Amino acid sequence: MTRIRAALATASALLLALALSACGSGGGSSTASDSGPTMVKVTVIPIVDVAPIYLGQQQGFFKNQGLDLQLSTAQGGAAIVPAVVSGQVDFGFSNLTSLIVGASKGLPLKIVAPGNASTGVPGKDFGGVVVKADSPIQSAKDLVGKKVAVNTLNNINDTTVRASIRAAGGDATNVKFTELGFPDMLPALANGNVDAVQVVEPFLATALKSGNRLVASNYVDTAANLTIAGYFTSQQTAKAKPDLVKRFAAAMQESLKYSADHPDAVRQVLSTYTKIDPAVAAALTLPQFPDRVDQHSAQVLTDLAVKDGLITKAPDLPALLP
């Protein structure tokens, strides 16, 4: 644990150094010419949540804004945040808690468009806490004292699971969280290495199809229609290239609306950038694709980050939010 904390401290220091080095540089990696569109580099995570940006590219929404969208993928925010802050890419995708934590540490981040949100329907969300069919755990309250797997410690999933436990009347401080990659969770659950797992699609659909039980919809329990993630840039890029940010945000708004109106297209596009089986894609629950970042959601996640010790001081939310 000491080594992990040291590594996190080093990573935070590196990100802050990158942020400071980027100041005054103009930010962003986009290039433009009088004879062609502006190239814009965006790094995302290859998950269901980012389907709208791929659909937007297919539908020509970015081209219509004079943007040549260059998409790349990373496994998580640990790679995306420093790439955006240092100006290697123009925009990135991340969950709100990661951005809140980064902003609280002084990183110059700016959310420019929403990404996805909870469906707001208990038992019918794109993420939740799952146990084996014969588990004695019947609700979030029963997770007290149990070992629960999340994909990243001290982030949006363990804090929202704690919120579920509190909502059910349990002691959220008495839970043993362990970090596992989503692909490793269901085998760990089956083998009895953990008591419960917090999974998102397509792992949730796979888990339920295998006979496991859903005991909590942690995003739904945290806040109504909780905004989960968003697209962000650096404060430097936002200030130096406001027109680029405006055009990217406009294209994302079209992409999000199209995705919300065409769920079948969302399922179809998944095969172009993920390895999700088409049969699984047809069965999974899609998140909402909202037209704005819900400020109440951001405040709730900030309060949870402070309450659960992820940060010691809340960041300036108005400066972070669109």
Q: Which tens digits make up the pLDDT trace of 47-106?
A: 999 999 999 999 999 999 999 999 999 977 778 999 999 999 999 999 999 999 999 999
Residue 156 shares a structural domain with residue 181: yes
Neighbours of 104 (CB within 10 A): 19
- DSSP letter at 193 equals S
- Phi first, then psi, for residue 280 (nearest 5°) are -70, -40
Q: Does 62 share its domain with 207?
A: no
pLDDT at residue 113 tops 50: yes
Task: Give the total number of structural domains in the chain.
Answer: 2
Last residue of a domain, one of 193, 222, 251: 222
Q: What is the C-alpha separation between 150 and 97, in angstroms, rounded?
A: 14
Query: Which domain covers residue 145, as residue numbers?
Result: 127-222
The residue out of 195, 222, 249 marking a domain boundary is 222
| Interaxial angle between packed helices 77-85 and 2-22, expressed in degrees from 0 to 180 and rounded to the nearest 10 | 20
The reply to whether 95 and 67 lie within a common domain is: yes
What does 92-112 look like in DSSP terms, one character per residue? EEEEHHHHHHHHHTT--EEEE
- Pairwise CA distance, residues 221 & 16, whole Å: 33
Calculate the average pLDDT of the chain. 90
Looking at 176, 191, 222, the residue that finishes a domain is: 222
Q: Give the contacts of 86 (CB within 8 A, at least 6 positions apart).
A: 18, 19, 21, 22
Q: Report how many helices (DSSP H) and strands (DSSP E) the chain contains, helices first.
A: 15, 11
Q: Are residues 230 and 309 in the same domain?
A: yes
217 and 230 inside one domain = no
Same domain for 196 and 249 = no
Token pair belonging to 5: 């904390």
Whether residues 102 and 161 share a domain: the answer is no
DSSP 3: H
Residues 90 and 25 in one domain: yes
pLDDT digits (tens, 9 = 90+) for 13-45: 444 434 333 333 334 445 444 568 999 999 999
| 230 and 200 inside one domain | no
Q: Output the CA torsion sign for 252, 276, 274, 269.
A: negative
- Do residues 246 and 275 share a domain? yes
Same domain, 65 and 204: no
CATH code of residue 189: 3.40.190.10
Q: Are 67 and 154 members of one domain?
A: no
C-alpha to C-alpha distance for 9 and 1, rounded to whole angstroms: 12
